Structure 1
């Protein structure tokens, strides 16, 4: 095998491209009226420590080829992890056999050729980390030691983990599209347990980024984990009632995630969304502005094209609280009689515009109410929007955190919750695809003691 130009990969991008082109040609020659192929390769290292000792050292290396063929409106898919010519031929044959016995689907097919990407700007997504295992161990140990050193009440640890991952892929289809991509993702996390008498509380913190220099300091991540666990000691329940609720940035990103799920093509064409027929209507508070920007440099959800090769584009999804767009791939778009939005494979970076100041300002705006820092369970009905989840966090009075809270349930309906957004903080969460600060809701039902 030809050596890779990158020591982490077994193949070059040119070799992956050659596999795509040969497989597409084979599928067409054997009767496929249309086809697409994706070849991918990934590698990485994970190092975990616990209580000052190395616990695990793991290396991962994987590769795969996915082949989708169409015979008219019949679709077949097969995959393999073997890149040999014989295995690729067998995979094409398996996909064709499936297609011949599959019912016709009028929405099946490749993305329209005029929607495919033609420009490929560098979004700065690939930053391989030359991290020897000894250095990874030292980094994890430093992170955990900082967490355990916060206070003598940090009684135990679930450990710290350093992960270093890189991947590359080439997607191509019979419209002539060929799209290469390379990306990396690094992360550092720590979880510890605080104890005071019989009471114990667990919490964690982490950093994740395309490039190692964007992760943050290992000791700072560890200290944050220790401080969060310590702050939860002495938690108590609240009296049942209706209160203003402030979702911290990580929990606020989950709220935006519920909007994405309800506005996605699969839920819409199955009529399993509380946002059916909501396009062009007031869904959120007039304060809310949401932009999808696939082109953020080093963004964790940045991409030039989606999973079908469709060109991504920057969109204003919510303006003044009004819903302007869905998240559609070609299949769901056809089922709905619409056009793809370049979201096959999911949403890209969602930027929720802040309307207020930092976290301290958001606490002042909350006044007296509940700060939510953890949510439990899956109590969200995507069809009706009904929302009921276990929660933990802090009780706030006059803008000051008074005590931690646990064993409560918060409830509402997402339609009403979205319209009740009173402020969005500038304390923006950047560790995922939803970039949003803390979100203040005017009120929710809180069930406690």
Structure 2
């Protein structure tokens, strides 16, 4: 049977689930197309074309639920998925917290958030961009000896969410990126690094030459890396790495971790968890934002702005309807996660932070995932630069930074205005005092 449009597919799924006696049902669908190419050593290496579609349907009856997914968008395929979900629901346990989000929380406002921007490039144009990007990196210095390639990708897609409350919305979006990774070598050995840019609107991307130059510069700076002696010191995490500290906090305040009592942020609502100069907020209605939406993954209306941490004080957890009910609370419109997170800053530039620190470690890479989300214990491999008198002295590698996240958050003394605005979190460099550094 032929494929049908997403809204019609959603209607078929919900009507069929109702006909089969389900008390509630919901369906999420998406379809999209994309192209990714990679050039290496100034030759086209790979071309990948994506054409994907998926339907995920969930049904609820007698506080039991079942879910099924399929790439078959034909009417027969849709009904088959609903039948599979119903069959699963017969064997699942009953849970009073299961079900759709409350009907009175469904989004009613519609607004164009400008999430869809075509990139009018043919294959030849994409290849040209990749070649320009890599050529810029390879031409910087003779010590750039090899390349892992430059890549260009472009994706556009549509998504529909609908449920038996009568909610049905469709959204479209795009994502485009350019990246480059190169290898440098000198008498001390080889190093690699990379740079990339990503945005919904291709007009906002850095130039291919700029991305290549940054990839080469970062690689060259790492040549001659060495270990340092174990010590206790102040650490600056550059913006890309600083975002991980924010993500650990966001993970710790998710409803699932809280109701299971498996989080170092348990019982911290209305407590100071960060210095009073730190505010962390989500901005779901940001125009062109990486994760903007007028509603969450359950159709619940998102706020224009919500402070998760306000002046250092934790304001609320991150909840969908199920986890909210488990905690006796209301959904915070975070089914599917937080949206467009921003972190406040203390006004200093990156150079100002180095001067302020004087001596310590600049972290530009984190390795591994040694984080205990129950206790907050933190230990990760790292690489970066040793700083003295506010100046980069030499690159370092094969070290570990360690502490406890609760202590690390309290020991933040500054956040730079050198924002990395790519992705879902906008954050500057973060300065943390009294970190344990394990080296030689």
Shorter-chain TM band: over 0.9
Of residues 37, 42, 67, the one that matches 2:57 is 67
User: What are the within-5 Å matches in structure 2 for residues 7-406 of structure 1?
Assistant: 15-313=5-303, 314-406=305-397
Supply the RMSD in Å over aligned alpha carbons.
1.2
Q: Is 2:415 the partner of 1:424?
A: yes
The 3-state SS of whatever aligns with 1:98 is helix
What per-residue deviation string (whole Å, max 9, x for no partner) do you get for residues 94-143 of structure 1? Answer: 11111122110111000001111001211111012121000000000000
1:252-273 CA distances to partner (integer Å, 9 max, x unpaired)?
0111000010011111111110
The answer to whether the Cα contact below 8 Å between 1:356 and 1:362 also exists between their aligned partners in 2 is no
Structure 1: how far apart are the matches of 2:362 and 2:347?
16
Rounded Cα–Cα distance in structure 1 between residues aligned with 2:415 and 2:134: 32
Q: How many residues align?
A: 439
* Structure 2 CA distance for aligned equivalents of residues 363 and 232 of structure 1: 18
Give the TM-score normalised by the residue count of structure 1: 0.96
TM-score (normalised: structure 2): 0.98
Change (3 A) 1:190 1:246: same
On the 8 A contact 1:287/1:422 being kept in 2, the answer is no
Aligned counterparts of 1:206 and 1:80: Cα–Cα separation in 2? 33
Q: Secondary structure at the match of 1:377?
A: strand
Q: Tell me the distance in 1 between the aligned counterparts of 2:434 and 2:205.
A: 35
Counterpart secondary structure, 2:322: helix
**1:367, CA displacement in angstroms?**
1.2
Structure 2 partner of 1:6: none
List 4+ stretches of structure 1 deviating above 3 A: none
Alignment partner of 1:328: what SS? Answer: coil
- The one-character-per-residue Cα deviations of 1:76-99 (angstroms, maximum 9, x if unpaired) are 111111111111111111111111
Query: Which stretches in structure 1 are left out of the alignment for 5+ residues?
Result: 3-9
Deviation at 1:38, TM superposition (A): 1.2
Shift of 1:298: 1.0
Q: CA deviation at 1:198?
A: 4.7
CA distance in 1, matches of 2:243, 2:75: 44
Secondary structure at 1:119's aligned position in 2? coil
Partner SS, residue 289 of structure 2: coil
